[in-house]
Homo-oligomer: A and B are copies of this chain.
Amino acid sequence: MNNVVKHSSSLKSKNGQHIVRIRDVEVGAKRIVIMAGPCTVEDRENLLMTAISVREAGALVLRGGAYKTRTSPRSFQGLGETALRLLAEAREQSGLPIVTEITDHTDLPLIAKYADMLQIGSRNMQNTVLLKAVGRCRLPVLLKRGFSNTIDEWLSAADYILDGGNDQVVLCERGIRTFETSTRFSLDILSVPVVKRKSRLPIIVDPSHAAGNRDLVIAVSRAAIAAGADGLLVEVNCNPYEAKVDGKQTITTEQFSDLMRQLKAIACSVKREL
């Protein structure tokens, strides 16, 4: 309808599909990539147990927050470098590369020492200072959609990174803000095929933030893969009931194993692998 903007990511790559590499994990290839882990790193034991557990169930990347953008200054803001060190330890033990959020461009040298992929959160999607900074580095970037940004604005945010010289960008749909109140956000499932038509960048889906409720996560994860997503970013915790952040929407490691079983069937039905 309104595809007047020419995005950098709309350029066709020479060999078709554009692949983003997180160490030896490829996003955008035939294999569906599941990134899983706790919302925020809060506790060493918990992180290591969760990491091992999601790896065994088939996750390929470990997620975990060290720096958070919280609505209120009185909410837990993350453990910072302590969390980064724990993530590195979890990587060593599980073998999974790690993705973690960056909220301040001056943290980049520090975070780059630990992370395998940088995440730009929804509230920072139009933080152009941050976008330019990660555009100048060589780590892959997971760019979440702003919860009230159009798909074209999202692709323009990706342009900031691509135009800076970093083409290792994975998009992540995580739900948009609407009038509906029975879910935390409304997952815009149509964004998956729309992005596939407008851009060569891989796109994954975060079912957890949209749902806001762990009992809805599995159904909408199936839908995401069926719609053509290249992967998922799921909040998983071996004990979500005591998490300080987003526990209500975080699935247990048992639910995650069930999710992976169900996704295998869906992936196969859309000729992908898991």
Contact = CB atoms under 8 A, between A and B. Distances in A.
Contacts of A159: 72-74
Interface string A185-222: 01111111110111000000000001111011001101
Interface of A: 1-3, 5, 69-74, 77, 103-106, 123-124, 126-129, 131-132, 147-148, 150-153, 156-157, 159-160, 163-164, 176-183, 186-194, 196-198, 210-213, 215-216, 219-220, 222-228, 262, 265-266, 268-270
A126 B69 contact: yes
> Max chain B CB contacts within 10 Å: which of A72, A160, A186, A213?
A72
B219 A182 contact: no
Given A223-B223, A227-B223, A182 B152 contact: yes
Contacts of A269: 262, 265-266, 268-269
Nearest to A131: B73
Given A156-B73, A188-B180, A226 B216 contact: no
Copies of this chain present: 4
B194 A216 contact: yes
A150 B190 contact: no
Nearest to A271: B265
Given A2-B182, A181-B1, A265-B269, A128 B193 contact: no
Given A71-B126, A71-B156, A219-B227, A190 B210 contact: yes
A193 B219 contact: yes
